[in-house]
Amino acid sequence: MAGQLDVCLVNSPLRAASTIIPQSLLWLAGWVEAKGYSAEIVDIKRSALTELNDKKREDVFRETVERTVAYNARVVGLTCCTGEFSTITKLAREIRNRCDAKIIVGGVHTSVSPDDYFTIKDSPFDAVVIGEGEEILTEILEYERKGESDWQTISGLVIRKNGEIIHTRSRVFCDNLDQMPLPVYHKLNMDHYLKPQLFLLRYVFCSGVHIFTSQGCPYQCTFCANRLRKVRYRELDDVIEEIIFLKKKYDIDFFYIQDDTFTIKPKRVIEFCQRLKALNLGIIWGIEGRVNQFPDEVFNALVEAGCIQMDFGVESGSQKMLDRMKKGIAVEDIKRIFKLCRSNHIRTFANFLLNTPGETEEDVQKTVELSEEIKASAYAHAVTIPYPGTAIYEEYVKPPLTIEEYDLLLLAQQRYRIVDGRFRIAAHSLDIERLALKLNLRFTFFQRLLFFSFNPKYLKVLLHSSRKPQYLYMATAYSFRNIIYYTKALAKRSKSIIAHYFRKTQLN
């Protein structure tokens, strides 16, 4: 059909309140358009301030279906994490019942357990993409335009033919990202993503976006499902072009480099910092880094170029736990980098994990002590969840989860709870849910009430921001929401203490 849309890429309805830009969909859409195909993105959003109850979630789901069907695309591309499996399958069935589009699915879970999508009854999927989808999607669109329906010759797919699940040839992915076009930001609701939020600068309001300069991670942390061990890099020219575009087009105040391993190449980091500093764009920024990858020349370059936030996966205060998780870092590395950041007025975020493999009460105590010592600007004490595809899942979750049980992962992630006995991988008998609540209240309560930083670079950007009214509105709204949240949390804790007292009294 002349003028028919080639592909409609659909974000998960469960991510409606997320303020993290779906970069994978942007890259896919930009890639296929650069190859001469048409693409649109369905990404239904709701305010991050909105509490999404069941009715509101259903409204988002229905709107996602309606918008997708209205595009009348040849191909519909869905993305799926393990905990979203049932929702994405339901979404695919609804779309299948309403239009004739071919439905493909990609994402983390498709690379971990691709056959799941065809072992379910009456599968609505036509193909499962393993790994990255840019070249695969381009070939699928080429086949569809030519009217060729047999995708068995396309590498990197799982399909079902005559009742048999077929894995096509493995695909060798390109070693670099030089050919990636500028992300097509105009296809998203950028008003939603550019509202001041707390998750770019960790509990401090900032308007901006997450970007990537590389993909992949060579490390082997046992709690991570990453399978792309080789790191591939974008040309710095392209990264700088994207930042300039974001500043000119959307007047961003901040950007966050979400690479797993941004600091792995010191010379590249220094060159990036020098070029960014020379532009004098009036932007502040942050990174995610490894604690043992900051020689003085790299650290100084970051500070001079306007980096004011560094996030670190600390995970544990116990060297034994760090080694068991194959983090490849030392406790002394952690102490050094946080001290260095404090002395240079760099904000820090420390992510700790509870319920680590074989964790003892002594290990927990070391985590608490390290949390106190490093004096981070912001903390998270999360409960480790063994996801399919990780080493800890293979070792501890037995029997493995059934497809019907994947929803447990989403529940665990949302509530920081051990929702299934198989998820408890610590050796101690502490109440992990209560421990996480206690530590998060202790280390983040006041940070979550402040919302703003006294860092001079941050204050300068805030003073010149075109979004000052939005900052004021969001700070006021979050203040009321946090008061309600912490009041409920403290009340819940008080009830638990009272109940424990009465049980103890009755026993005595």
Give the integer Cα–Cα distance in Å for 35 and 340.
Answer: 47
Give the per-residue pLDDT at 409. Answer: 93
Which domain covers residue 141, as residue numbers? 7-167
Closest CA to 103 of 73, 142, 66: 73
Give the integer Cα–Cα distance in Å for 307 and 381.
Answer: 24
Number of domains in the chain: 2
- Cβ atoms of 87 and 13 within 8 Å: the answer is yes
Give the integer Cα–Cα distance in Å for 357 and 483.
Answer: 35
Same domain flag for 314 and 458: yes
Output the domain CATH number for residue 101.
3.40.50.280
Same domain flag for 149 and 205: no
Please report whether residue 416 resides in a domain: no
Same domain flag for 63 and 141: yes
Give the per-residue pLDDT at 157. Answer: 96
Give the integer Cα–Cα distance in Å for 192 and 198.
Answer: 13
- The widest CA-to-CA distance across the chain, in whole angstroms, is 81
Same domain flag for 156 and 206: no
Give the per-residue pLDDT at 228. Answer: 67
Please report whether residue 410 resides in a domain: no
Give the integer Cα–Cα distance in Å for 368 and 352.
Answer: 9
Other Cβ atoms less than 10 A from the Cβ of 437: the count is 19
Give the integer Cα–Cα distance in Å for 135 and 140.
Answer: 9
Please report whether residue 358 resides in a domain: no
| Burial classification of residue 118, based on how many CB atoms lie within 10 Å of its CB (0-12 exposed, 13-18 middle, 19 or more buried) | middle
Same domain flag for 102 and 224: no
Same domain flag for 161 and 31: yes
Same domain flag for 132 and 226: no
Q: H or E segment at 311? A: strand 307-315
Same domain flag for 136 and 282: no
Same domain flag for 229 and 131: no
Give the integer Cα–Cα distance in Å for 286 and 302.
Answer: 9
Same domain flag for 148 and 241: no
Output the domain CATH number for residue 303.
3.80.30
Q: Amino acid identity, residue 274? A: Q
Please report whether residue 361 resides in a domain: no
Same domain flag for 114 and 229: no
Dihedral of alpha carbons 390, 392, 398, 401, sign: negative
Beta strand spans in 80-238 (E): 102-106, 127-129, 157-161, 164-167, 208-211, 214-215, 232-233
Give the per-residue pLDDT at 507. Answer: 38
Please report whether residue 431 resides in a domain: no
Give the integer Cα–Cα distance in Å for 87 and 253.
Answer: 35
Dihedral of alpha carbons 80, 83, 89, 95, sign: negative
Beta strand spans in 149-236 (E): 157-161, 164-167, 208-211, 214-215, 232-233
* Regions of the chain with pLDDT less than 50: 1, 497-508
Same domain flag for 147 and 211: no
Give the per-residue pLDDT at 415. Answer: 61
Please report whether residue 256 resides in a domain: yes
Report yes or no on whether pTM surpasses 0.85: yes
Residue with tokens 């993305």: 79
Please report whether residue 424 resides in a domain: no
Please report whether residue 176 resides in a domain: no
| Helix then strand then coil, % of the chain, to nearest 5 | 45, 15, 40
Q: What is the pLDDT of residues 168-184, one digit of tens each?
A: 999 877 766 777 889 99
- Cβ atoms of 75 and 101 within 8 Å: the answer is yes
Provide the CA 16 distance to its chain's centre, in angstroms: 14
